[in-house]
Structure 1
Amino acid sequence: MDKYAERLTGFMRAVGCMNDAANRISDYFVIKLEESDSMLTSLAMYHSSITDKFPSAYWHPQLKACSQKIFMETLALWFFEHEEMQFLPSSLKQNLLANFTDALNEMTGIAEFFTLITSPPVWYGSLHEEFVIEAQYGRYLVHFSIH
């Protein structure tokens, strides 16, 4: 596993644990996608790794360009979604986001951000949201979901 993706995944899973409630579990992770000639091909390889029962085209992936600011706003919504997280001091929330941003920038360098829209043919969480980051050091998938 990519050391940067592993570091961010650990960070995200720790925050995800703080969001877990009795009736659902948060799942947040970052993975480095396989290198290929296009982002859609890299995504097809990832989707094929999840299940061999359906071709990757059954995920119907669409990429929509977005900014790092939109990505970070979405990240903050997922990080602080649980009502208990609302009681955290603002300075602590800002510190968590700043540390994540520093690690993200170290991983990506100059990067482009995309919202990934899919229609999974298999169970993929009650609610999910994903992003793809095209960076000078590779392509990364950032996943948020609740089960």
Structure 2
Amino acid sequence: MDKYVERLTGFMRALGCMNDAANRMSDYFLVKLEETDSILTSLAIYHSSITDEFPAAYWHPELKACSREMFMDTVKSRFFEQQDMQRLPRPLKQKLLANFQDDLTEMTGTALLYTLITSPPVWYGSLRDEFVIDSQYGRYLIHFSCHD
């Protein structure tokens, strides 16, 4: 696994655990997508790896351009979803977000961000937000979800 992907996934999974509750589990991760001729082809390979029962086209992926601010607003809301996380001191929350953003920028450089909208043919977590990052260093999928 890519050292950046490993480090950021560990960071995200730790924050996801901190947002778990008695009746809810959080799932936050980062995946480096296969290098192909298009983002949709890279996503098709990823979606095919989840289940072999349904073709990748059954996910109906749609990409919408996304600003870094919109992306970071979602990251912030996901990292501090639960009441205990919301109570963290503001400087600590800012430091966590800044570290995440710095590591992501180091990994991707200047990148295009997209919101990924799908209609999965299988259970894939409820209340999810997914983003695709397209950079000179590769393509990445960032996944945030929770489930009961």
TM-score above 0.5: yes
Tell me if the contact between 1:34 and 1:42 (Cα under 8 Å) persists in the aligned partners.
yes
- Counterpart CA distance in 1 for 2:50 and 2:37 is 21
Moved more, 130-139 or 1-10: 1-10
Instruction: State whether structure 2 residue 102 is matched by structure 1 residue 102.
Output: yes
Q: What is the CA-CA distance between 1:86 and the residue it aligns to?
A: 1.2
- Counterpart CA distance in 1 for 2:32 and 2:109 is 14
Counterpart of 2:121 in structure 1 is 121
Q: What is the CA-CA distance between 1:69 and the residue it aligns to?
A: 1.2
Per-residue displacement from partner, 1:54-100 (whole Å, max 9, x unpaired)? 00000000000011111111000000000111110000000000000
- Counterpart CA distance in 2 for 1:8 and 1:35 is 20
Tell me if the contact between 1:113 and 1:131 (Cα under 8 Å) persists in the aligned partners.
yes
Q: Match for 1:59: what amino acid?
A: W
- Counterpart CA distance in 1 for 2:21 and 2:122 is 24
TM-score of the aligned structures, taking structure 1 as reference length: 0.98
> Where do 5+ consecutive residues of structure 1 fail to align?
none
Structure 2 SS opposite 1:122: coil
Counterpart of 1:77 in structure 2 is 77
Tell me if the contact between 1:5 and 1:31 (Cα under 8 Å) persists in the aligned partners.
yes
Structure 2 SS opposite 1:23: coil
**C-alpha RMSD over aligned residues:** 0.6
Structure 2 SS opposite 1:120: coil
Per-residue displacement from partner, 1:30-53 (whole Å, max 9, x unpaired)? 010000000000000000000000
Q: Match for 2:73: what amino acid?
A: E
Instruction: State whether structure 2 residue 116 is matched by structure 1 residue 111.
Output: no
> Where do 5+ consecutive residues of structure 2 fail to align?
none
- Counterpart CA distance in 1 for 2:10 and 2:34 is 20
Counterpart of 1:30 in structure 2 is 30
Q: What is the CA-CA distance between 1:3 and the residue it aligns to?
A: 1.4
In the TM superposition, 1:1-147 aligns within 5 A as 1-147=1-147
Runs of 4 or more consecutive aligned structure 1 residues displaced over 6 Å after TM superposition: none
Percent of counterpart pairs with the same letter?
73
- Counterpart CA distance in 1 for 2:2 and 2:128 is 23
Aligned length: 147
